[in-house]
Amino acid sequence: MGEEAIQYERGMTFEKVWAAFDRMRADDEFRAREFERKMQESDQAFERSRQEFDRKMQESKEADERRAQEFDRKMQESREAFELSRQKSEREMQELRLSMRETDRQLRLSMRETDRQMKESAKRLDKQLGRLGNRIGELVEELLVPDTLAKFNAMGYTFTKICPNVTIKNKDGKELAEIDFMLENGDYVLVGEVKLQPNAYDVKDHVERMKKIRVHSDERNDKRKLIGAVAGALFPEDVKKYAQAAGFFVITAAGEDVNIEMPPVGWEPRTDWIL
């Protein structure tokens, strides 16, 4: 390999080297001219593209200006139409206010007289409703309470005492609770609330009543178990379930008889009435 390289080098002449160099220079000049030509073509293409872009931008700008002018024209027309409509509405409102003032004046005069008459009628009606409500409550209690003791005794409670319309007071004589009826024996006290048509609020009120009675009984060292019942002549089904869920017996009217509603399986009356 070494001898061949030496012989190759020795075989090269100045003319051959110069010719090779001259060919390389010619190639470089050709490539330079070709590069310059392509750059010119690229510049020309770019300039054409730029001019086309400028043309389209100018067209778009002119179109936007036309649209803006049209929009301004329509907005001006709309403002003018709105102003005319506003002025018309204002005139009509002014006329309406004047008319309403007169109507209001006449109405106030009429209402004063009507209010006076209604107050007098309401007073009379309140008295009548109060008497009627008391009478209905008395009728419901008369219907439900008397047979209740026997019904509970048939369930094994052996109550020996029934007390209607009991008022519970504290040591200072302040009223704590009103009880429609109570059933008592040596182990249990049943507190009954009677309504014509009980609702969920009546049940909640009775829960609070039971808590107050429990505190009062503990203060008097009465340790008997306290159970509750809600009775009604007209008893909605959902209120029955709500009352039983609160731990109360549900008592309903069945014709001329009294019925203690069958509670769910496993149900026990509530006895832990704690504030």
Secondary structure (DSSP) of 26-44: HHHHHHHHHHHHHHHHHHH
Range 129-153 average pLDDT? 61
Contacts of 269 (CB under 8 A, 6+ apart): 227, 228, 247, 248, 249
Report the distance separating Cα 216 and Cα 176, nearest Å: 9
Q: Which of 245, 252, 234 is nearest to 267 (CA)?
A: 245
- Pairing mode, strands 188-195 and 175-184: antiparallel
Q: Where are the domains of the chain?
A: 141-260
206 has pLDDT over 90: yes
Contact 248, 203 (CB under 8 A): yes
pLDDT value at residue 214? 94
Give the pLDDT band of residue 136 (cuts 50, 70, 90): very low
Instruction: Name the one residue in this structure whose structure tokens are 């159970």.
Output: 227
Instruction: Quote the mean pLDDT of the chain.
Output: 82
Range 109-125 average pLDDT? 67
For residues 128 and 82, the model is more confident at 82
For 141-173, b/e burial (b = at least 16 CB within 10 A) is: bebbbeebbebbeeeebebeebeeeeebeeeee
Q: Provide the token pair at 241.
A: 């379930």
pLDDT digits (tens, 9 = 90+) for 5-59: 444 455 668 788 888 887 888 888 888 888 888 888 888 888 888 888 888 888 8
Strongest mean pLDDT among 26-30, 122-126, 198-202, 262-266: 198-202
pLDDT value at residue 142? 60
pLDDT value at residue 274? 82
Report the distance separating Cα 168 and Cα 100, nearest Å: 58
Contact 224, 182 (CB under 8 A): no
Task: Please state the length of the chain.
Answer: 275
For residues 163 and 257, the model is more confident at 163
Least confidently predicted of 101-110, 141-150, 167-176: 141-150
Give the pLDDT band of residue 109 (cuts 50, 70, 90): confident
Contact 236, 246 (CB under 8 A): no
134 has pLDDT over 70: no
pLDDT value at residue 91? 86
DSSP string, 195-228: ESS--HHHHHHHHHHHHHHHHHHHHTT---EEEE
Give the pLDDT band of residue 119 (cuts 50, 70, 90): low
φ, ψ dihedrals at 232, nearest 5°: -155, 150
Contacts of 270 (CB under 8 A, 6+ apart): 227, 228, 246, 247, 248
255 has pLDDT over 60: yes
Range 76-88 average pLDDT? 86
Report the distance separating Cα 155 and Cα 227, nearest Å: 14
| Three-state DSSP state, 127 | helix
221 has pLDDT over 90: yes
φ, ψ dihedrals at 179, nearest 5°: -120, 130
- Asked if CATH classification 3.40.50.620 holds for the domain at 141-260, the reply, yes or no, is no
107 has pLDDT over 80: no
Least confidently predicted of 127-131, 155-159, 162-166: 127-131
Q: What is the pTM of this model?
A: 0.51
